[in-house]
Each structure stands twice: as C-alpha cells, then as structure tokens.
Amino acid sequence: MSDYVPNEERYNQMHYRRSGQSGLKLPRISLGLWHNFGNTAVQDNARNLIRHAFDCGITHFDLANNYGPPPGSAEENFGKILKQDFRTLRDELVISTKAGYPMWTGPYGDGGSKKYLISSLDQSLQRMGLDYVDIFYHHRPDANTPLEETMAALDLIVRQGKALYVGLSNYPAELTKRASQILKSLGTPCIIHQPKYSMFERWVENGLLDVLSEEQIGGIAFSPLAGGLLTDRYLNGIPEDSRAAKDGRFLKPTDITDERLKMISELNHVAYLRGQKLSQMALQWVLRQPAITSVLIGASKTSQLDDAVAALHYVELSAKELSRIDEILAGDSK
C-alpha cells in the first residue's frame, strides 16, 4: 500500500503547451530517466524524484529501451514505481519510450526495421507493466532501413494501440521533413521531435527548428544544460563528484577547456544580474524558441527539479541579454 498522496496544487506550478498541432499538452519541464534510474541508482532516491516531479506538475516522464545501466533497467524500475505509487494516476501521466540504439545481440536488436521496433516496444511495455505508452520514438535514423519501413512501423504501433502518438529523435532537418510527410500520408502524424539542444549545442538552429514549425511538430530538447556544464557545478573547475570526473561516457574532462570555463563564468554573470541561477537561464534560453514545447532535464536531487520549475516564473530574456549571450558564445569577452 502506497503512502503517496500527490500535491493538490501541482498543476498550478507548471506551464503546459500543446505539442505541435496535436491535442497533447506537455509540461514545459519534463523529466528524463537517462541517468539515476537504472540498477546502479539508489532506488529510494529514484522513487522520491518521480514523486517530487509529479508534485511539481511534471507529468511527462521520458525513457528509452536502453536507459539504465544496464539497458532496460530504467524502464523496469520506473514500472515498479508506477505500480507502487501511480496505479490510479496513469491517465495523468505522459510516458514515452524509444528504440533505435543497440539493445540485444543478433541482427534484430538495433536500427529501424519493423521487426526491431515492434519487438522492442513489446519488451518495453512488459518491463514497465503498461498496455501502451503515450509517445513512442524512433531514437535515431537508420541508413540501412528504408525510411518508409520505419515510418510504417510507427504507424502500425499506433494502430495496434501500443502508443497514442509517435515521434522522432536525433533526425536531421531534411530527413525529419521526409519522415513527417510519410507519416502524414499514413494518417499518423509525427507530433514531436527530440533533439539535443543547448547554448553549447545549436545544430537545430540550422534548419531543424524551421522544419518543426513548417510541419507543425513540437520540439522537446534533451541535454539543455549540456550535461551539467550550464550549471554552477563547473565554475571552479571539475569537482571530484561530478559527472565529468566519474563518468567519461557523456562528459569528458577534455570537454571542459579553459575557454569553455570562461564562457560558463561569463554566462553565469548574466544570470546573476537577472537574479537567477545559470541553469535556470539556460532552460529559459532553450524554451524561448517557439518550436520548443518542452525541455528534458535529468535530476539526482529534488532541489534540481525545484530550480528547473522556478525557471518558468522569471521574466523572459530581453533582446539585450540574448545579444550578450550570443557574444559570449562567440568568444567575445567584453
């Protein structure tokens, strides 16, 4: 029996926006379960994070078949939390998962084939104890599978009732447009695209954001804090307990150059003048884009969730502040 009672004021804390032209509203802040929810995580903390996120009005929880470590364990652990605390709240949650990266051995455990995508989602649903997910993504393009086959698989998944909506992740602009047009012709529109986007990762500005607007697809940015770089964690170098020091898979010490540290310090000063944290300003900077529906954050502490939600309540970045941020990112240290 769960002792969890959701915060009755949760929906008053969060802002929501429709994803593309769909009827689905997403919270402006969503929680990604890429880290801190696998078998190497402290499970009581993971459960507390999910609860706290929901209490803050964060209704969207984003997973993938390979999230862990080990792969699959984030979905398994999330499924346990759902069963413990959210059994009667499923209709208030938006749950997404993905497939596209290597998941099991042999020729059918990777890519974009119908065989892989259908099998992977079946496994994900079993791990989470769900009948359906709200959003199912193809996690990355697969040059070895016809785009028509991959999109037909997404369409079939919706028709089978295993997902309500479909999306794409890590697709470049032109491929996104082609995929979107195929899905429209099948009668299952792409409602969302999940790209990597932050002050330090701006490739989406070279065409993808335009395609999202043209095709009326929502955008949900992952790594908006650049793996933690756009926080106060690295203002004085690399802390011993930081991700860069402990885990070189996603953020390496070599990523944190003197030039990058200087940029972080100058960006932090802009945030300071606004009376907010650098992480909060970085989230606002991504969310300022009309094509961006939501940002996906990771969290290991409930205070990080509180900071992210608080970012929604600061005044918008001014044209002068945006110009100064661009100068800093271009290496101009006026």
Which residue in the block uniquely carries the two structure tokens 């989470």? 128
Predicted pLDDT at 250: 61
Predicted pLDDT at 73: 98
Long-range contacts of 272-275 (CB under 8 A, 24+ apart): 274/314, 274/315, 274/321, 275/314
Q: What is the CA radius of gyration of the chain?
A: 19
Q: Quote the percentage of the chain above a pLDDT of 70.
A: 95
pLDDT at 181 over 60: yes
| Residue 321: partners with Cβ closer than 8 Å, 6 or more residues away | 270, 274
Long-range contacts of 180-188 (CB under 8 A, 24+ apart): 180/211, 180/215, 180/217, 181/215, 182/147, 182/148, 182/151, 183/151, 183/154, 183/155, 186/151, 186/152, 186/155, 187/155, 188/154, 188/155, 188/158, 188/159
The pair phi, psi for residue 199, each rounded to 5°, is: -55, -30
- CATH fold group of domain 10-228+282-315: TIM Barrel (3.20.20)
Mean pLDDT for 248-270 is: 84
- Tell me which residue of 270, 263, 262, 260 sits closest to 321, measured CA to CA: 270
Mean pLDDT for 203-215 is: 98
Q: Is the dihedral of CA 110, 114, 117, 122 positive or negative?
A: negative
Evaluate whether 66 touches 101 at the Cβ level (below 8 Å): yes
Predicted pLDDT at 234: 86
Predicted pLDDT at 332: 64
Helices (H), the chain: 10-13, 43-55, 73-85, 114-128, 147-159, 173-186, 208-215, 243-246, 258-274, 278-287, 302-310, 319-329
pLDDT at 209 over 70: yes
CA distance 95 to 134: 5
Mean pLDDT for 294-322 is: 98
| Residue 205: partners with Cβ closer than 8 Å, 6 or more residues away | none
Predicted pLDDT at 103: 98
Predicted pLDDT at 322: 98
CA 194 to chain CA mean position, Å:
7
Predicted pLDDT at 249: 59
Predicted pLDDT at 68: 96
The pair phi, psi for residue 79, each rounded to 5°, is: -60, -40
| Residue 216: partners with Cβ closer than 8 Å, 6 or more residues away | 20, 21
CA distance 134 to 218: 15
> pLDDT-based confidence at 241, cuts 50/70/90?
low
Q: What residue ranges do the domains of the chain occupy?
A: 10-228+282-315
> pLDDT-based confidence at 194, cuts 50/70/90?
very high
Evaluate whether 226 touches 201 at the Cβ level (below 8 Å): yes
State pLDDT tens for residues 55-112: 999 999 999 999 999 999 999 999 999 999 999 999 999 999 999 999 999 999 999 9
Mean pLDDT for 206-215 is: 98
pTM for the whole structure: 0.95
Average pLDDT of every residue of the chain: 95
Predicted pLDDT at 331: 87
